[in-house]
Structure 1
Amino acid sequence: MRFGPLATARRFIQIPRISRLTGLNIPDERLAPTKEELDIIDQLPFFQKEFKPTNRSITKAKRAYLDKKLPIVRQLFPNPQDEDYLSYKIPENLPNPFLDAYARATTNPVTGTVEYDGTPRLSVTKLLTKRWCELRETYDIYSQVPIFEHGRISRGRREHQKLEDDVHLPLQSVEEFKAEFEIDIPDDAFHTLVEDWFQTMTRLLTLFQKGQAREILCHGYLSSKACRLLDGSVKDEEDVLISGIIDHLILKKRDAATLSPTPLKLNLSSAASYDLRQILEVLPQLVQDASQELEVIVSDVKTRSTKTIPQQQTVISASKTQVMYYRYFLENLSSNADRTYQKLLINAGRRGFDVDAPINPAKVIYLMEVDSVIEQDMLRLQSGVPIGFAPFDSYIESCDTQMQYTLEDFDDLIQDLRTRQKYGHLFTKWTTPVTLRYFAARLAQMYTNLSPLLSTNLMVEYYSGDVNFHNILFKYDPKELERESVDSAMFWFGKRNIEPIKPTLRNFLTYCKYCDYESVCLWKKEGKDACRSLGDDLTDLDQKVEGNDSTTTN
């Protein structure tokens, strides 16, 4: 066990029982340190290291970032007693971090409806308010200034992308098609969500084909009233959407000591068998048959500049909690296709999208080029044939009129012979439009194949460059996740105070070193002052001990 400076000092201090000190107040000025002695204490290396102002070099970009952010935070967290420092209390006029600072909810004076100037949803990582210091997180949330992207963040993003490309690298032909396609392929927020849902669906199929998949979307909902994760259907407008991206899913043998990906015995070699409807009809039985032998491990990837894992226990704990959120969301999404379909429709609605708005045909053609697994479904929509998922098919059948959806213009716009040969039969009027509702249906069906395979074994992977140098394996703990989620919800919905790091010397050295608010943090200042008064406290204790011993002797 390692001991800090205080623990070392305490080995030379005999602390009597509390009962011996009760009622004693015998001062002895002989024990009080002189001014010269206090100056010597202040110059000790330990106190110099802890309390000396840091002079880290700051780039011009970082300085400009701080010059923008800090005045905003100062205005929101004033400290009347000392204007040089920030208050560590949530502003009384903005008591709800989610509604007042993040979503920025307002009521339309004409319609009376609630509107949002910010983001009315959260991510899994946003729920991890204590992964470092919740006070720092709070200042960042209220500032509404995006996190500064330093070198470690951009490097980590590149390393994640490389891992993703190792499993899901687009074919060169797809990149060439995209560059040469004669019609612009939209990439606005709506069509990005379309591609994300399509990509998650096809990557889950890759999980069964190759034994692993990366960057998989998941989501759930958090009750702002009960401060709990929702287990069933979403019924309240105040239930908040929580989204996440799972770094890594691994399909492996349950009894294997290694993490070797193990594909399902899924025969998709022929063009006729590569039909999403047929795959979704046969996949559930294949999964069920393999569920005794195989399991899906949910994992998160952390990139590090060196081959070391974080020393802070809060960081390790937050990483585990993050993976448990993913596991919980997958369990819920895979439990019932009909309910998941509705959750996905609500997901899109919470993002402000119409699930029945037509998807740009250029995007549809591009997605078929990326993965032809949806091509037979597109022919079904073109001719008005049911896709084989009852909630979707019954909705389409119940619509009195369908909006016009046509690719007829493509017959004139597209001259490329290869494209015309491959997709020309689609350049007609369609009976059923391609919408987000369709992708919600197919993604919901694909999610449900995970249910029999989800393992209670979870993992955090640590990478430095291309090297996976360490893994943390642990068990899924629903009760621990419930405690963590309730605690986070209580913070986000303004039902508890900020809980900064514990004011210990070790924490100040560890957590405050690279904090943007280090020089203006009242919490740290008060903690520092408390440490400086430690000498006086020990002096008082010695006085009481000396006085008690003297009384006993007499």
Structure 2
Amino acid sequence: MFLPPLNPQLGLRRQLKTIVFRIPTRESPQKPAPPMHDPASTWNTLKDILPGTDNTVATRVSENEKRVLNVFGAPHFALLPRPEPHRSPSPYEYFCTVNESASHVEQPRLSVTKLLTDAWCELQTFYDVFAGLPSARSARLSSGTRHHENLEKQAHPRVDARRVEKQIESAAQKHAPEAVEVLFGTPMAAQLASQWSEHVTMRLVEMADTCELREIHVHGFLDLARGSLVTDAAHVRAAVLVNGVVDLVRVDASNHTQREPWLEEGLLLVDLSCAIPRAKATMTALSKDHFVHVYDVKTRQNDTIPAQRSVLDAARRQCMFYSRFLADLARDSNYAYQSWLENGRRRRVEPDAPLGTGNATELLLRHFETLALDYLRLARGTDLGFDDFDNSHTHRQKQNVDGPEHASRYTLSDFVSAAQFREMLAALYGQDSPFLELDVTPLFSAWKRPLTLRYFAARAGQTCNILEAVVPGSVGVEYHNMHTRRLLKRMHFALDGATLTAAVQHAASFWNGTRLPTATDDMKRCVYCLYKNRCPVKNRATEKVGERIYRLCESQDGACENLHGA
């Protein structure tokens, strides 16, 4: 062993010391986790750091916000995400898969208003889609709907629908409940038949006399991948159906072409096989110096007009979509016919399935003057005069493709007798109505050709073609006070093909998810937004608040001791 030398002054040898220590074999305890974030307790600190922060108490995540966060796998304390483009599912895929509106899941489609994604705030629209929310129906919207209905009744008076419904309900009570289900068939088939007959066929035929109509149904097909509208029948099945209702269509005319009233055997009945060609000839004559103008009617609570530029631009684009859809349906009767058929298929209605005889009776009572002669044609097996429809029946008879369920006996007598029907007709139109002079007994025997949605598609396709020669003119928006019913202002816009093309591409890229949704730059619009507490734009400053808190704590002696685990 080595010994240190002696200290010569002391004469002593230095003594050695042995130090013993133990190395721990177990791990040191982990540092304590930092405390969970408590929005309410840290709010005062946040206000000191961010003086501009909204002076409200932090709230819990809402159910709608939670849905969006769950879709994108984000924690519930996070801000709502703005996912990168091309993420699956796309907004349209999700809209048609998870939606509180079962109709859009069962019958995937869009509306023209859904194409106006940035009318208010596109980011809000995006979150609405991924929250699975249907379009909200407010009391204000209901009031606006009533105003539209009043305008429609003034322009197109009809027999009171409630009186017809009472007659039908009374007749239905005479049948067993299980029989009533068969007699009224598929509700959607009856709804489309009613809409297409009244809001397409009848309105367009009347337009040749009045040069004006209200509430006409139109549609188009949008190719989301290409960002363009489909205009040929061969490609509509691969595109997205877009439905719309035009509030007002007017043919601008200073001189109306006079035409003879439609009479049949001295009765005030419309023979569509004659009326449609005659109406087209009238509109073709007018087309030399007249144009089709499309308007949308907006209702207001007071006498003010929207000041937001995005709202006004959206209204203009909305009318451009309507004008384009109407022009596409008008240019070719075969395309229009095929597209109406495809519209029905998208709504899960088989075009050649017979309409319930209860539904057929109700439609006839509502629109006797327009449908009676066509009903008789179908019952007798007479052609309508529209080759695409007439030939399809001949082909189906030869190929026997209808099947036994479609070949069964079809007659209105399954629902009411001829005598009962005449009583219902008299109750609605009066005992002296000339309608009672028409012999409708063939309708209560076996029909040669049953009433189907294909018939209504054929007449709708024909009547759309009435406007073939009339060039689309301007589009416009009318603002009405819904309470006083006063017209506040009528705004006109020129049709702009470039604007419409850009609008189509903009809407398609939103719904197919190939671009990020944009947010409004007007924070006043955030007041009533369902996502304002978690919006990444409105709360953009909070994305850096953690770093600011850290720096603030670090600058204070011992303020961050717990956060550092010291």
TM-score, with normalisation over the residues of structure 2? 0.74
SS of the aligned residue for 1:429 comes to coil
Matched, 1:124 2:129: no
SS of the aligned residue for 2:295 comes to strand
One-letter identity of the residue aligned with 2:147: E
Does the 8 A contact of 1:88 with 1:523 survive in 2? no
In the alignment, the residues of structure 2 paired with residue 352 and residue 424 of structure 1 have an alpha-carbon distance, to the nearest angstrom, of: 33
**Which range is displaced more, 116-125 or 160-169?**
116-125
CA gap of 1:430–1:417, structure 2 versus 1, over 3 A, is: closer
Partner of 2:68: 73
One-letter identity of the residue aligned with 1:122: L
Question: What is the Cα-based RMSD across aligned positions, in Å?
Answer: 3.2
1:380 to 377, 382, 405: 377
Does the 8 A contact of 2:284 with 2:467 survive in 1? no
Matched, 1:137 2:154: no
Alignment of 1:98-497 (within 5 A): 98-103=92-97, 117=105, 119-172=107-160, 175-181=162-168, 182-184=170-172, 186=184, 188-199=187-198, 200-235=200-235, 237-253=237-253, 264-268=257-261, 270-272=263-265, 274-371=270-367, 372-400=369-397, 401=400, 403-404=407-408, 405-410=410-415, 412=417, 415=420, 417-419=422-424, 423-465=440-482, 466-497=485-516
CA gap of 1:498–1:95, structure 2 versus 1, over 3 A, is: farther
Question: Shift of residue 326 of structure 1?
Answer: 0.5
Question: Shift of residue 453 of structure 1?
Answer: 2.4
Which runs of 5 or more residues in structure 2 are unaligned?
Answer: 1-46, 173-182, 426-435, 545-566
One-letter identity of the residue aligned with 2:138: H
1:87 to 81, 86, 106: 81
One-letter identity of the residue aligned with 1:266: R
SS of the aligned residue for 1:524 comes to coil
Question: Shift of residue 117 of structure 1?
Answer: 4.1
Show CA shifts across 1:418-452 (max 9, x none).
24866444210000111111111111110011222
Show CA shifts across 1:525-552 (max 9, x none).
116889xxxxxxxxxxxxxxxxxxxxxx
In the alignment, the residues of structure 1 paired with residue 245 and residue 385 of structure 2 have an alpha-carbon distance, to the nearest angstrom, of: 28
Does the 8 A contact of 1:212 with 1:250 survive in 2? yes
Does the 8 A contact of 2:164 with 2:366 survive in 1? no
Partner of 2:30: none
In the alignment, the residues of structure 2 paired with residue 397 and residue 250 of structure 1 have an alpha-carbon distance, to the nearest angstrom, of: 38
Question: Shift of residue 345 of structure 1?
Answer: 1.0
SS of the aligned residue for 1:440 comes to helix
Question: Shift of residue 166 of structure 1?
Answer: 1.8
Partner of 2:536: 522
SS of the aligned residue for 1:459 comes to strand
SS of the aligned residue for 2:134 comes to coil
One-letter identity of the residue aligned with 2:389: F
1:508 to 511, 523, 536: 523
CA gap of 1:214–1:192, structure 2 versus 1, over 3 A, is: same
Which runs of 5 or more residues in structure 1 are unaligned?
Answer: 1-38, 56-62, 106-115, 257-261, 531-554
Show CA shifts across 1:447-500 (max 9, x none).
011222243211011111201101110111111111111111011112122222
In the alignment, the residues of structure 2 paired with residue 274 and residue 521 of structure 1 have an alpha-carbon distance, to the nearest angstrom, of: 57
- Report percent identity of matched pairs: 28
Question: Shift of residue 387 of structure 1?
Answer: 0.7
Question: Shift of residue 399 of structure 1?
Answer: 1.6
Partner of 2:430: none
SS of the aligned residue for 1:320 comes to helix
SS of the aligned residue for 1:523 comes to coil
One-letter identity of the residue aligned with 2:528: Y
Does the 8 A contact of 1:78 with 1:87 survive in 2? no
Question: Shift of residue 131 of structure 1?
Answer: 0.6
Does the 8 A contact of 1:228 with 1:482 survive in 2? yes
In the alignment, the residues of structure 2 paired with residue 397 and residue 117 of structure 1 have an alpha-carbon distance, to the nearest angstrom, of: 36
CA gap of 1:209–1:528, structure 2 versus 1, over 3 A, is: farther
Question: Shift of residue 417 of structure 1?
Answer: 4.9
CA gap of 1:177–1:347, structure 2 versus 1, over 3 A, is: closer
In the alignment, the residues of structure 2 paired with residue 362 and residue 469 of structure 1 have an alpha-carbon distance, to the nearest angstrom, of: 43
CA gap of 1:410–1:84, structure 2 versus 1, over 3 A, is: closer
Question: Shift of residue 118 of structure 1?
Answer: 5.0
In the alignment, the residues of structure 1 paired with residue 159 and residue 237 of structure 2 have an alpha-carbon distance, to the nearest angstrom, of: 42
CA gap of 1:249–1:340, structure 2 versus 1, over 3 A, is: same
Does the 8 A contact of 2:384 with 2:390 survive in 1? yes
Does the 8 A contact of 1:89 with 1:498 survive in 2? no
In the alignment, the residues of structure 1 paired with residue 383 and residue 421 of structure 2 have an alpha-carbon distance, to the nearest angstrom, of: 31
In the alignment, the residues of structure 2 paired with residue 342 and residue 271 of structure 1 have an alpha-carbon distance, to the nearest angstrom, of: 30
In the alignment, the residues of structure 2 paired with residue 398 and residue 300 of structure 1 have an alpha-carbon distance, to the nearest angstrom, of: 42
Does the 8 A contact of 2:379 with 2:442 survive in 1? no
Show CA shifts across 1:505-538 (max 9, x none).
xx112x21221111221211116889xxxxxxxx
**Which range is displaced more, 71-80 or 212-221?**
71-80
Question: Shift of residue 369 of structure 1?
Answer: 2.5
One-letter identity of the residue aligned with 2:379: Q
SS of the aligned residue for 1:72 comes to helix
In the alignment, the residues of structure 2 paired with residue 150 and residue 325 of structure 1 have an alpha-carbon distance, to the nearest angstrom, of: 25
SS of the aligned residue for 1:415 comes to helix
**Which range is displaced more, 273-282 or 215-224?**
273-282
CA gap of 1:210–1:95, structure 2 versus 1, over 3 A, is: same
In the alignment, the residues of structure 1 paired with residue 93 and residue 74 of structure 2 have an alpha-carbon distance, to the nearest angstrom, of: 23
In the alignment, the residues of structure 2 paired with residue 527 and residue 250 of structure 1 have an alpha-carbon distance, to the nearest angstrom, of: 51
In the alignment, the residues of structure 1 paired with residue 288 and residue 78 of structure 2 have an alpha-carbon distance, to the nearest angstrom, of: 62
In the alignment, the residues of structure 2 paired with residue 120 and residue 195 of structure 1 have an alpha-carbon distance, to the nearest angstrom, of: 21
In the alignment, the residues of structure 2 paired with residue 414 and residue 142 of structure 1 have an alpha-carbon distance, to the nearest angstrom, of: 55
Does the 8 A contact of 2:287 with 2:470 survive in 1? yes
TM-score, with normalisation over the residues of structure 1? 0.75
CA gap of 1:152–1:53, structure 2 versus 1, over 3 A, is: farther
CA gap of 1:413–1:91, structure 2 versus 1, over 3 A, is: farther
Question: Shift of residue 149 of structure 1?
Answer: 2.7
CA gap of 1:223–1:211, structure 2 versus 1, over 3 A, is: same
Partner of 2:37: none
In the alignment, the residues of structure 1 paired with residue 294 and residue 125 of structure 2 have an alpha-carbon distance, to the nearest angstrom, of: 26
